[in-house]
Chain A
Amino acid sequence: MYRYDKYDQAIVDARVDEFRDQVARRLNNEISEEAFKPLRLMNGLYLQLHAYMLRVAIPYGTLDSRQLRMLAHIARRYDRGYGHFTTRQNIQYNWIKLAETPDLLADLASVEMHAFQTSGNCIRNISSDQFAAAAADEIADPRPYAELLRQWSTLHPEFSFLPRKFKIAVTGSAIDRAAIQLHDIGLQLVHGPDGEIGLKVLVGGGMGRTPMLAPVIREFLPVADYLSYMEAILRVYNRHGRRDNIYKARIKILVNDLGAAEFARQVEEEWAQLKPLGLDPPPSELARIAAHFQPPALGANAPVEIDLSNPDFANWVAVNTHPHKVPGHAIVTISLKAPGEIPGDASADQMDIIADLAQRYAQDEVRVTHAQNLVLPHVRRADLFDIWQVLVSAGLATANLDRASDIISCPGLDYCTLANARSIPIAQKLAVNLAPQEGDLGELKIKISGCINGCGHHHAGHIGILGVDRKGEENYQLLLGGSGAEDASLARILGPGFDENGIVNAVEKVIDRYKTLRADPQERFLDTYRRVGAEPFKEAVYG
C-alpha cells in the first residue's frame, strides 16, 4: 500500500489546522455561513436533512486494517456507531457535529486519510477495481496509476474550480468492475503492440440527469506521458465546459456536443503543446509509487482443495469468492447487504471485525467496492472456513454477491437534502422479498437512486429505480436494461411510475416474466431483456 511521504502528510496536517481555525471563527460568528459553507464543503462536510454529513475519501477504495479501525473509531467517537460505504468507494458519516470535525479530521490524518475533494467542482477521489492486484484477469495493478493521479490532482490549482465535479476511474482489467464507461474519464490498462503497458482513454461518461457512456478517445496512451495527457483533457474541458448552465457543465455534455473525434483532436492539439514542457514526472517517480504496491508474498503451494462439506459455507464460497491470480488463494467479497439491512451500512463493530480479518488473513488489506460491499483481496483458500465463521457471527456472511438482494442504494430521502423519495426502504423490501429465489435468478443487479442525480447508479442497473416527486409524494420510476460493466448500457424507463408498494410489485412482475422468457436457466435477466426487448415486460407490469 502507498504510504504518505513527508509532503503528503504535511499537506493533510496543514489542512486540518486551517479548518480548525475556520470552524472556530465560524462558531464565534467571525465569518458568515455564506463564507464558511464553501470552506466546509472543501473538507467534505455537508449539511444534510438531520445533521452534518462527512464524506471521507478512500483512495481507489483501498484500506489497511489500521485505517479501517480508525473509520470504526470515528463512527463510535463522533457519530452514532456506523458509517455508509458509497458507490464512489468512499465512506459517509451521517451525524457529525461541526465543533468536533477538526478533531475528527486530525484523527483521520493520523492514518493518512482526509476528506478533501469529496465535494465541489474539482477532481474527486480516484476510483478503481476492487480486485486490483488480485484478479486473475488483470494486466497490471491499476493503483499506482491511480495514486499518481491522486497526487497530481490533490489541490491542483488549475483544476480546483472546474465547470463541474470530475470523476476518474482506473482499471487494469478488461472485465470492468470500476464502471469506467460511466466516469468523466475512464482509464483501462492495455498492452501495446510490443507488449508494453499503456492506457485506453475514455472520456465523457456519467449518470445523473443526462446519462452517457464514455467514448474511447485514445486506444493506446504510453504510460510515461499519461499525466500530461490528463492535463490536456482537463484543459480543454476547463476552457469550453458550460459554466453558464449547471445541467450542461459536465464534460460528457462537451464531448457529446463536439463529438468524440473533435474532442480528441482538441486534446491532441493541446497535448502537443503541453508534452514538451516537462509536466510528466520522471519514470523514477512512478517506480517509487509502484514500489508501494508490490504484490504480497503469497505461497505458491497453498492448497487449492478445501473441505466444502458444510453446504452454507460451500454456497458462500461459490457466490462470494473469486479466483485469485495465485493458486490456492481467493478474493472474498463481504456483503454489506443482508436482506432487510441498509445497503452499504456497517457498524463500528463490524468494521473492527473486518479489520481483524484483514490483518490476520488478508495481507492487511481491505477494499471498498462501488456496489457498497467490502473485499478481502488476498486470502488463502485454506483460511476461508475460519473467515466465514467469523463473518457468520458478525452478521456478515450473506451469500448474495451480484444477486437480487445485493442492491445498490443511495441514502435517498432518509438522509439526503436533494432527494425526492426514499431509496433504502425500497431496497430493504425488495431484498427481503427476492432473497428466497435469488439463487435461481442468478446475476441480477438492482440499483436505486432517490433523485435524478443518480448516486445509486439506477441508469446502470439491470433493473433501475428512480425516486421522483409527485406533488410532495414519493413516486418511483422503473428502468430496465442498464449495465455498468464492460457490456455497459443505459437503462430505459419502462412506463408510468408507482408508489412504494407499487414499485416493489412491479419489480416482482418483471422478474416473474423473466423466468418465463429466459432461454435457459443460465441466461441472465439482462441478456433476456436484450434479446426480447421491453415489450413483454411492459405487458407484464402495465398489461
Chain B
Amino acid sequence: MPRLLTGNRLETGDVLWWSGSDWSLHLNDAVAVDDEGEALIARLGPQERINDLALIDVDATPDGWRPRTTRERVRAVGPSVRPDFALPSLPVESI
C-alpha cells in the first residue's frame, strides 16, 4: 500500500505533503515514500521546520491519492463543513 509523508508547517500550521524534493499544500503533488518514509522523517525531523511528521496510508485511484482514513481525508481537503475553504485535493463530498 502506498504511503505518503505529511506534516504541518511550523509558521502556519498548514498541512503539507512531501513531493520528493519539497513540501506542497496539495495532496496530489505528493510522492509515495513507502519504505523510505522512516529515513525521511529521521532526516527532516531534526530540521525542526515541520511539525507532527507522519506517514499515512493511501490508495492510488484514477483521480489521485485517496487517504484511507476519514481523518486524513479531512486533513487533505479542509473541514468538510466549510467547502468554501476546500483545497482541490479531493472532492469535499467524497470525504
- Name B14-71 residues within 8 Å CB distance of A: 14-15, 48-49, 51-52, 68-71
Q: Does A468 contact B (CB under 8 A)?
A: no
* B78 pairs with A413, CB closer than 8 A: no
**Contact status B68-A27, CB under 8 Å:** no
Q: Is the CB of B74 within 8 A of A49?
A: yes
Task: List residues of chain B with CB within 8 A of the CB of A32.
Answer: 48
Interface size on A, residues (CB 8 A): 30
Instruction: Collect the chain B residues with CB atoms within 8 Å of residue A422's CB.
Output: 70, 74, 80-81
- Which of A92-100, A309-317, A488-496 lies at the interface with chain B? A92-100
A27, B13: Cα distance in complex, Å: 13
Chain A residues contacting B14 (CB-CB under 8 Å) are 50-51
Cβ A472 vs Cβ B70 within 8 A: yes
User: Which residues of B are found within 8 Å of A414, using beta-carbon distances?
Assistant: 74, 79-82
Partner of A413, one of B10, B52, B74: B74
A74-115: contact bitstring with B at CB < 8 Å (1 yes, 0 no)?
000000100000000000001011110000000000000000
Report yes or no: B13 in contact with A33, Cβ–Cβ below 8 A: no
- Residues of chain B within 8 A (CB-CB) of A96 are 13
The answer to the question of A212 belonging to the interface, with a C-beta cut-off of 8 Å to chain B, is: no
- The answer to whether B80 and A97 touch across the interface, beta carbons within 8 angstroms, is no
Q: How far is the CB of A145 from chain B (nearest CB, A)?
A: 38
With A32-B48, A414-B80 already in contact, the answer to whether A51 and B13 are too (CB < 8 A) is: yes
Closest Cβ–Cβ distance, residue A259 to chain B (whole Å): 40
Interface residue? A419 (CB, 8 A): yes
Size of the B side of the interface (Cβ < 8 Å), in residues, is 23
Decide if A33 touches B81 in the complex (CB within 8 Å): no
> What is the minimal beta-carbon distance from B40 to any residue of chain A, in angstroms?
17
- CB neighbours (8 Å) of B79 from chain A are 50, 94, 414-415, 424
Rounded to whole Å, the gap between the CB of B86 and the closest CB of chain A is 11
Q: B11 contacts which chain A residues (CB < 8 A)?
A: 27, 97-99
Contacts of A49 in B (CB 8 A): 15, 71, 74-75
In the complex, chain B residues whose CB is within 8 Å of the CB of A26 = 10
Query: CB of A160 within 8 A of chain B?
Result: no
* B69 closest partner in A (C-beta): A472
User: Does A377 sit within 8 A of B, measured CB to CB?
Assistant: no
Residues of A with C-beta under 8 A to B75: 49-50
A29 at the interface (CB under 8 A from B): yes
Q: Please name the residue on chain A nearest to B81 by beta carbon.
A: A424
Q: Determine the distance from Cα of A474 to Cα of B15 in the docked complex, in whole angstroms.
A: 22
Q: List B contacts of A99 (CB < 8 A).
A: 11-12
Q: Are A33 and B70 in contact (CB under 8 A)?
A: no
A33 to B48, CA, bound (A): 7
How far is it, in angstroms, between the C-alpha of A52 and the C-alpha of B85 when the chains are bound? 16
Q: How far is the CB of A76 from chain B (nearest CB, A)?
A: 15
- Contact present for B70 and A29 (CB under 8 Å): no
Residue in chain A with minimal CB distance to B68:
A472
- Measured CA separation A474–B81 after assembly (Å): 15
Q: Name the contact of B81 in the complex, choosing from A47, A419, A425 (C-beta under 8 A).
A: A425
- In the complex, what distance in Å separates the CA atom of A419 from the CA atom of B69? 12
Partner of A50, one of B13, B49, B81: B13
Do B80 and A51 touch (CB < 8 A)? Answer: no
What residues of A have a CB within 8 angstroms of the CB of B15 in the complex?
49-50
* B binding-site residues for A, Cβ under 8 Å: 8, 10-15, 48-49, 51-52, 68-71, 74-75, 78-82, 85
Residues of A within 8 A of B (CB): 26-27, 29, 32-33, 47-52, 80, 94, 96-99, 342, 413-415, 419, 421-422, 424-425, 428, 472-474
Q: List 5 A-B contacts (CB under 8 A).
A: A33-B10, A33-B51, A52-B13, A414-B82, A422-B81
Given contacts A27-B10, A98-B12, 11 further A-B contacts (CB under 8 A): A29-B48, A47-B8, A49-B74, A51-B8, A51-B12, A96-B13, A413-B71, A413-B74, A425-B80, A425-B81, A473-B70
A-B pairs with lowest CB-CB distance, top 9? A51-B13, A414-B79, A52-B13, A472-B69, A424-B81, A97-B12, A49-B75, A414-B81, A29-B48
